Amino acid sequence: MVDSQYVLPNDVGLALLDCSEAFRLLLRSERLYAHYLSRACWYGGLVVLLQTSPEAPAIYVLLSRLFRAQDPDQLGELARSAGLTDLEYQAFLVYAAGVFSNMGNYKSFGDTKFVPNLPKDKLRQLIWQSQAFQERPEEMESLWDRCGELMFSLDPHQRQLGLREKGTTTYFSGNCCLEDAQLAQKFLDSQNISAYNTRLFKEKDKAGQTCYEVRLASVLGTDAPVDHELAPKLRCFEFEGCTFRVTRGDYAPLLEKVVENLQRTKACVSVLPLLCAHAANTNQERMLEHYIRSFTQGSIAAHKEGSRSWIRDKGPIVESYIGFIESYRDPYGSRGEFEGFVAIVNKAMSAKFARLVESAEQLLLELPWPRAFEKDTFLTPDFTSLDVLTFAGSGIPAGINIPNYDDIRQTEGFKNVSLGNVLSVAYATQKDKLTFLAEEDKDLYIKWKGPSFEVQVGLHELLGHGSGKLFVQEEKGTCNFDREAVINPETGELIQSWYRGGETWDSKFSTIASSYEECRAECVGLYLCLNKDVLRIFELEGEDAEDVIYINWLNMVRAGLLGLEFYTPETGTWRQAHMQARFVILRVLLEAGEGLVSLQHTTGADGKPDALITLNRNKILPVGKPAIERFLRRLQGFSAVTDEGPERFLSLRDTVLLRKEARKMFVQANTRLEGEDVTLVQYEGTAAGLIRSFSERFPEDAELLERHLLELSDGNAHFWASQG
């Protein structure tokens, strides 16, 4: 039997991300704009396969060919005749849906591998009898030979993403360890090269000297004409006894399709009889121009310029962002995973967030640190609620605060988005699946979880990620703070350290940066949700407001317990930044004492280990608020997991794994050109529906894309050959 944490259950939640009404209300020009942006996102999303594991591209191609040749229903009939039970075939459908949804064979939330929950010989037999195999037996057999073993393998270093012996990653060659990542970061900082769109490959030259290749993602290769920004960087460097060679051209054929569709977004000559620009304003045009240059040349500087134009584009009907964005899955925490989204504004909910933005400057004054620790001027951001049309990448969040570039965030601002149609389906909970809560809390929890999470997301994104100032000393020596006046509130002394020019939050704190920042943002949400003015913005008053506060805090302590699923005892590491943050908050509130939070080991009605977590709602203000206030000022030291009493967290981890509920997967629509307009094609919220959406996602060039993926994978396979 395979450990349940490495398989997706047959009853995993699947939900359609419905955006039909929002899409219907768009003008034709807006639908065209959304369509071509979506195409760019979907093509770019394939990059994630190459950023996840060595076998992920081949698994994707194998599944894609199977289901393009036969619909899930047709393949199901064949499966039964081949001897698979209905449960086994459903397990295979769920596995395939998981690969498409996560863009690889590792969970986007938690970074653990998942394998097919059926015998390998039965899956092989199904493939051999499939229509795809009958049409191209040699190619299908070759694909199975490439990925069949790795698809099922749970060797220790393949169970989770990580560096060297701690896991699998394709951001680094298989021979790289933490020390290599640290040295590479020092080199990148020395040359003012961002790690966001890079991978690192380590080899020995003929003389036995260590050589590192820093490869930038771009359409153009190293030998193509280089613009003035990158010209001095695309060469060899000697650094601390090693050679660093900066090249480009990673993911080139996929990024070429991204660029092609970004160009079509600007002007769709092939669709309309006259040149028709879809970019609604100058900011969008400039944004697209900079993105095109960024992906063509491999320039993060150009992507920053695109992000600046994006920030200035206030309140668009169709919102989007695309690029190498979040660094959660890089084991070192510096390299960005490709993602792109297109979404349509929800005007009613956005009005509430706009009122929250109007109150932001006043609310910032309530946070428990001196005024000098905030930006000199609050940069009023855009904050909208959106219905997702397209979200390409490894997973879909509930809210986003971007861009992630510290220099832009500090001086020019950012945008916040809350993804409304994600929130409405992602966090719906059935009472019988609601674990670790007292019976008397469950109905209230189900009633108020959605509204409370809406409040938490708003505060987390706007005033959590949006607050705070990075103290920076530029290369010329000037500082953005008064070194003779700014006092550390913990020590009562002048601050002793700050960022130097070129250093960023991610580059400086690497492996702990994401968890630390998510913890800060979650605490800000808990702290400020106690403010009645905030709750009134969300039309919550009286008993309803009190219930939302209670459920928001209860949800956080329960999430801290659920977070134990994402801790790996063998390596002592956390695999998910948000869940590490929530566990830390649970620890803080437990240690606050005075009966605020209670956590007990129990035995469930099924006779198996269980747990019960309770929160005293009368102690939230007198005990909980001061605890979070103190913690916001120091934020460190609480994420160790031991089996010491009274909580015995390691034992509780086993209980959490026993009773865990799999994370939902989302079925997304496709857009299709019909004449001079665009139609929306939606699918049922099932594993088969999700598979069909991917089978129809690239109708013109699926085979070409599959060939590109295999060629790109083959070109780098030797970097992980020794890990197989």
Which positions are annotated as active-site residues? 461
Q: What angle do CA 57, 136, 125 make, to 5 degrees?
A: 80
What residues does 340 pair with on adjacent strands? Answer: 322, 392
**328 near 577, Cβ under 8 Å?**
yes
Separation between Cα atoms, residue 680 and residue 673, nearest integer Å: 9
H or E element: which one contains 588?
helix 577-591
**Residue 423 burial (CB count, 10 A):** 19
For the chain, what's the residue count? 724
**Is 460 annotated as contributing to ligand binding?**
yes
- Residue 37 has phi, psi (to 5 degrees) of -65, -40
User: Which residue shows structure tokens 């934020």?
Assistant: 635
- Identity of the residue numbered 552: N
Give Cα separations from 151 to 49, 75, 164, 208, 688 (angstroms): 14, 20, 19, 34, 20
Determine the Cα–Cα distance for residues 7 and 118; give it in Å rounded to an integer: 10
Region of 430 on the Ramachandran plot (φ > 0 left; ψ -120 to 50 alpha; else beta): beta
Q: Is 601 annotated as a binding residue?
A: no
The position carrying tokens 């005075």 is 594
**Helical (H) or strand (E) element with 421:** helix 420-426
Distance CA(113)–CA(109), nearest Å, equals: 11
CA distance 590 to 598: 7
518 assigned binding-site residue = yes
HEC profile of 538-553: CCCCHHHHHHHHHHHH
CA angle 91, 97, 102 (to 5 degrees): 125
Q: Respond yes or no on whether the N-terminal peptide bond of residue 403 is cis (omega within 30° of 0).
A: yes
Annotated binding site for Zn(2+): 460, 465, 518
